[in-house]
Structure 1
């Protein structure tokens, strides 16, 4: 069963924790891509960054729910 996260008496859905983890991973990966120079090859960086964040978020959620596999 999915439990809520208790943050000083405020109950938050677990998606907030997954989104925070995905944001940290996204920031690191975005800095790495910028350092490598990959953004010179990307047509629409904002669209790419959004899609990258969604992929990382879905990967985090998939990893949490399929940890036993």
Structure 2
């Protein structure tokens, strides 16, 4: 892994943790991306899909199942 991959992997793990524990949906997906260090929503969506294979919205939808 290069450094950027390592950092983004860590950021996505943290984002997954935040999303999984935000049952009241207090935070938007964009706010979570910003909180873990992404500069844009687009960059967050792309990285999330790359590392998890699903979009943030799909990830959230699977939490309630």
Larger radius of gyration: 1
TM-score range, shorter chain: 0.3 to 0.5
Give the TM-score, by structure 1 length: 0.42
The structure with more strand, counted as a fraction of residues: 1
Give the TM-score, by structure 2 length: 0.44
